Amino acid sequence: MKRLIPLATVACLAVGIALLNVETTQATPPSGATAPFTYRATVDSYHFDSNDYKIFQKNSEDVVMRQIVLAPGGNNGWHFHPGPVLTIVTQGTLTLYEANDPTCAPHNYSAGQGFVETPLDVHIARNEGTVPVIAVVTFLDVPIGGAFRLDAPNPGNCPF
C-alpha cells in the first residue's frame, strides 16, 4: 500500500503537468495591449458592511491596480482572474466577450462606464473602435505574490 501512494502522486503530477502544457500552447496572448502602470500591495483581512455593499476578506491578499490600453483592433487575449475585478473605462469603447456565452454577444462599455468581472469566468476585451481604449482595473482576492491574470485557450464560440 505504501508504494501505491507515491505512484499515485507521480501520476497526478504527470497529468497536471500535461494539462498545464496544453493550456500554455493553446493560450491566446494579448495583441495591441499595454499596461502603462501596475501597482500592487498586500492588505490584511478586512470586513466592510453597509446597507448596499458587503465585502469580507478572510485572509491577507494582494490588491492590484492597473491601467490597460488597447490600441484600435487590439485585445487582451482570452483570460480569467482568481478574484473579482472592478473595471472603469476612461476612454474609448471596450467590447467584452464571455466564454460562457454560446452566442458570443458583445458587451460594450464606453468612457465613464464600469463593470465587474466575476472570478474564474473566461473572457476577452477588445477594442473594435478607432481610438485607443483606456481602462483602470482593480483586481481583488489575488494570492500574495501570485497571478492576477491567467491566460486561457480560445473557447471556440467566437469567430476570432
CATH number of the domain residue 53 falls in: 2.60.120.10
Integer-rounded Cα radius of gyration of the chain: 18
Q: Concatenated DSSP letters for 31-86? A: EEEEEEEEEEEEE--EEEE-SS-EEEE-S-EEEEEEEEEEEEEEE--SEE-SS-EE
Considering the domain boundaries, does residue 6 fall inside one?
A: no
Domain that holds residue 60: 30-151
Arithmetic mean of pLDDT, 136-146: 98
Considering the domain boundaries, does residue 120 fall inside one?
A: yes
Domain count, the chain: 1
Arithmetic mean of pLDDT, 57-83: 97
Considering the domain boundaries, does residue 146 fall inside one?
A: yes
Considering the domain boundaries, does residue 4 fall inside one?
A: no
pLDDT of residue 20: 44
Q: State the average pLDDT for the chain.
A: 88
Arithmetic mean of pLDDT, 89-99: 98
Considering the domain boundaries, does residue 40 fall inside one?
A: yes
Which cell numbers in the block locate residue 111? 468612457
Calculate the alpha carbon distances from 34 to 22, 68, 115, 126, 151 in Å: 26, 6, 20, 13, 16
pLDDT of residue 53: 86
Considering the domain boundaries, does residue 16 fall inside one?
A: no
Q: Residue count of the chain, please give it.
A: 160
Considering the domain boundaries, does residue 102 fall inside one?
A: yes
Considering the domain boundaries, does residue 2 fall inside one?
A: no
Q: Is the dihedral of CA 84, 128, 102, 124 positive or negative?
A: negative
pLDDT of residue 37: 96
Q: What percent of the chain has pLDDT over 70?
A: 84
